[in-house]
Amino acid sequence: MAELRWNPLLKDWVMVASHRQNRPQMPKDWCPFCPGSSKVPEDYVVLEYDNDFPALMENPPEPDEVGSDFYKVSKAYGKCEVILYSKLHNVTLPELDVEHIEKLVDLWCERYKKLSEDEKIKYIFEFENRGEEVGVTMPHPHGQIYGYSKMPLKIKTELNSCKEYYGKNKECLVCRMNSEEEKFKERIILENESFLCYLPFFTDYPYGVFITIKNHKSKMIDFTNKEKKDFADILKKVTGTFDSLFDKKFPYMMCIHQAPVNSPEYANYDDYYHFHVEFYPPLRSKDKIKYYASSEMGAWAACNPRAVEETAVELREAYEKFKRGLKCGDKGYDI
């Protein structure tokens, strides 16, 4: 079964992908993403790989006859891709050279352009799940891209908020957030010439940083070459800072938010929408997980167990530790 089901309470579509339960358990001594598996080229730097068990498909089956005029169903149309960060099985994002991560940024841009050519696709979402704490079973370094045919509710809410704020204030909402954080300073973790990383005033995760571009741009394909390099640089530094915080591979969900595609209702998105990356790290301390429990899930009433003005200090210290490691000779893997 693979279909979309309408939730009338939230006015949102739910993906049903029960066929994914049939995914085989991978042998511990074999990885489909490693050269020699026959699934990927014998040599590559970064690579797009069509998901073998996609929740969304370009040729989806007809929905099962379980819906009604009230409970609507729709085909699970879309695209699910795996983005392989490296041919090396155990390397992680902060261990890669900036030049290597630049190639990853270029691949994200290439796939955004390609997927946007399909007029049925409304939103292209690049993300990475890292660590067993967020359900990852494949250690080979990778992220994913989903091309949605229905605009996800959270993205729609964010777009509407940005559009409404711009209409009232003639100012980008994320640009205002950036200026507020730069003025306050204490929640900023690190920055480079093109990007800023901070713990937003409102984040519901103790270490839930945002990365935002300083110049107002709505999507990655608009970045200059300098901005692409700086984006690769800050991705390496932020994820390296996470690993330095508790001296362990730090789990996270990394979510890239950029402009929608093929959506006339958001036609002037370049005016009001602002590219940014949201991190959702599930740890609240070295050995404790910040669970999304009943209040968060059932009422969407988020609760951060730590004041971000305190955890920002910890992250800045972790960043200094990460920088010292780089100066002592720890460097990324060659491509």
How many Å apart are CA 254 and CA 278, to the nearest integer?
6
Q: Are 228 and 195 in contact (CB under 8 A)?
A: no
Q: Which of 235, 36, 28, 51 is nearest to 139 (CA)?
A: 28
Q: Which of 230, 126, 302, 220 is nearest to 238 (CA)?
A: 230
**Catalytic entry in 100, 140, 142, 274:** 142
For the chain, the helix, strand and coil percentages under 3-state DSSP, each to the nearest 5: 35, 20, 45
How many Å apart are CA 92 and CA 240, to the nearest integer?
9
Q: Which of 191, 182, 158 is nearest to 274 (CA)?
A: 158
The one-letter code for the residue type at 314 is E
How many Å apart are CA 266 and CA 43, to the nearest integer?
41
190 bridge partner residues: 197
Residue 319 corresponds to which tokens in the numbers above?
């960043």
Q: Are 80 and 146 in contact (CB under 8 A)?
A: yes
Q: Looking at residue 18, what DSSP letter applies?
A: G
Taking CA atoms, 327 is separated from 98, 102, 320, in Å, by 15, 21, 11
Q: Are 206 and 304 in contact (CB under 8 A)?
A: yes
How many Å apart are CA 300 and CA 293, to the nearest integer?
10
Q: Are 86 and 100 in contact (CB under 8 A)?
A: yes
**Annotated catalytic, 216?**
no
278 bridge partner residues: 210, 255
Q: Report, as residue numbers or ranges, the catalytic residues.
A: 142
